[in-house]
Amino acid sequence: MKVLHIEMGNHLYGGARQVVYLMEGLKHEGVENYLLAPKGSSISIEASDKCSKVITCNYRGDVDVRLALFVKKAVLKYSIDLVHIHSRRGADVWGGIGAKWAKVPAVLSRRVDNAEGPKSIKYKYPLFAKVIAISEGIKTILVQNGLPAQRVACVRSAFVAEDSQHPIDRQSFLARFQLPENSLVLAAVAQLIPRKGHKLLVECLPTLLEKHPSIQVLFFGEGAERNNIEQQITSAGLSDRIQLAGFQSDLNHLIGNVDLLVHPAYTEGLGVSLIQASAASVAIIASDAGGMPEIVRSGENGLLVPPGNKEALIDAIERLVSDQNLRQKMGARGKYIAEQEFSVPVMVDGNLAVYRKVLGNSDETEG
């Protein structure tokens, strides 16, 4: 089986990292992977040993109709059996059209939980033989928006748990970020964009510091809101409490030293950083929205709060900051959940079952 993967992101954020995991797993199952990605992108470099061929192009963004031609050309040149589109906002449409021109089936991974309008359901989704939702929450929204349930399979994202099992020591971690010895470290791991809720967490911090003066916060990630968030932190007089730590290539080895992961996103398809934290035995506070409750089981491996609710977020953070034993119990439970339900082999098997179903090679059903 030859599969052409399309990922148009330039950075190895959650979705692109999932593509790397998937291709590596598929390779072990005998699948020949081909990747179409932007020239100079991180994934085009990272995935080179997971693919039979990395095909790069000068992609100009959502309206670049040439992507359909790139896809058609690649399919015909390498005798591709199936196209798997991992990107959206233009790339999904052009990828689907390119596959149709080349007369091979296409599947689309859907990683976001925003609503789709009637026109998208009517005109875009018929391009795909199957839509792979990374959470039941996303699947539910698509079905509610009018996509037939049998057209959608749920295959959750995954994380390589072993990557978090060798963290750097605590002293080195504190020294790296110049944190005091007695720091209680909260972290948010997400792109710096409005829907991730960083600004809400900044608003909560003055109240939290009144009772818990040892709190320090690290924001891991980059994004368009960086300057605005930095200005908010400075205006609130919190520059000595919140660090914009940027993108850390070795985050897997850092995250285990965090005392609590806080993810106050207003919406989220699933949240790979939540799986990452769970795999590292870190308790989590997240919003009760999208696919987040599929990872964070409130009272088990963390707490869920209503999205955008400042008071509820403060209460949840205070509860776990005040109870080290509870954090440790939740962290241990989270590690078990990550290993049992969000492993790469489970994710690979789920995607492979969809491929076989689409290509008519299996009677398996998937949900």
What is the chain's pLDDT, residue by residue, as a tens digit (367 residues)? Answer: 999 999 998 777 778 889 999 999 999 999 999 999 999 898 999 888 889 999 999 888 878 899 999 999 999 999 999 999 998 778 899 999 999 999 999 999 998 888 888 998 999 999 999 999 999 989 999 999 999 999 999 999 887 766 555 678 999 999 999 999 999 999 999 999 999 999 999 999 999 999 999 999 999 999 999 999 999 999 999 999 999 999 998 888 999 999 999 999 998 988 889 999 999 999 999 999 988 999 999 999 999 999 999 999 999 999 999 999 999 999 999 999 998 888 889 999 999 999 999 999 654 434 4
Clarify whether residues 193 and 46 are in a common domain.
Answer: no
Whether residue 347 sits in one domain with residue 337: no
Instruction: Please tell me whether residues 227 and 94 are part of one structural domain.
Output: no
Report pTM.
Answer: 0.78
Q: Are 32 and 103 within one domain?
A: yes
Q: Is 310 inside a domain boundary?
A: yes
Structure tokens at 41: 């992108």
The pair of three-digit structure tokens given for residue 3, joined into one six-digit string? 């599969």
132 and 209 in a single domain? The answer is no
- Please state the separation of Cα 202 from the chain's center in Å: 22
pLDDT score, position 165: 57
Q: What pLDDT shows up at residue 127?
A: 96
> Do 110 and 174 reside in the same domain of the chain?
no
- Does residue 215 share a domain with residue 130? no
What pLDDT score was predicted for residue 103? 97
Please check whether residue 365 lies inside any domain of the structure.
no
Give the whole-angstrom CA distance, residue 108 versus residue 83.
Answer: 8
C-alpha neighbours within 13 Å on the C-beta side of residue 215: 27
The answer to whether 214 touches 241, Cβ cutoff 8 Å, is no
Q: What pLDDT, on a 0 to 100 scale, did the predictor assign at position 64? A: 86
Q: Would you state the pLDDT for residue 366?
A: 40
Task: Give which of 113, 248, 266 is closest to 187, Cα–Cα.
Answer: 248
**353 and 281 in a common domain:** no
Q: Give the list of residues 6+ apart from residue 9 with CB closer than 8 angstroms, or none.
A: 15, 16, 38, 41, 43, 87
pLDDT of amino acid 206: 97
Residues 202 and 313 in one domain: yes
Q: Are 111 and 208 part of one and the same domain?
A: no
Give dist(CA 331, CA 300) in Å, integer. 9
CA dist 109 and 134 (Å) reads 7
312 lies in the same domain as 207: yes
Token look-up 């440790």 returns: 328
In whole angstroms, what is the distance from residue 171 CA to residue 246 CA? 20
Confidence (pLDDT) at 166: 67
Q: By residue range, what is the domain housing residue 262?
A: 162-341
Question: Is residue 223, in this structure, part of any structural domain at all?
Answer: yes
Task: Please give the structure tokens belonging to residue 259.
Answer: 């005392």
pLDDT at 367 (0 to 100): 42
**Paired tokens of 164:** 């978090």
Identify whether residues 19 and 97 lie together within a single domain. yes
**C-alpha torsion 294→299→305→306, nearest 10:** 60
Q: How far apart are CA 245 and CA 254, in angstroms?
A: 12
H helix runs in 48-135, sequence order: 66-78, 91-102, 118-119
The answer to whether position 364 is within a domain reads no
Find all residues with CB under 8 Å of 223, minimum gap 6, and list them. Answer: 191, 192, 193, 196
3-state secondary structure (DSSP) of residue 229: helix
pLDDT of residue 11: 76
CATH assignment of the domain containing 112 = 3.40.50.2000
The total number of structural domains that make up the chain: 2
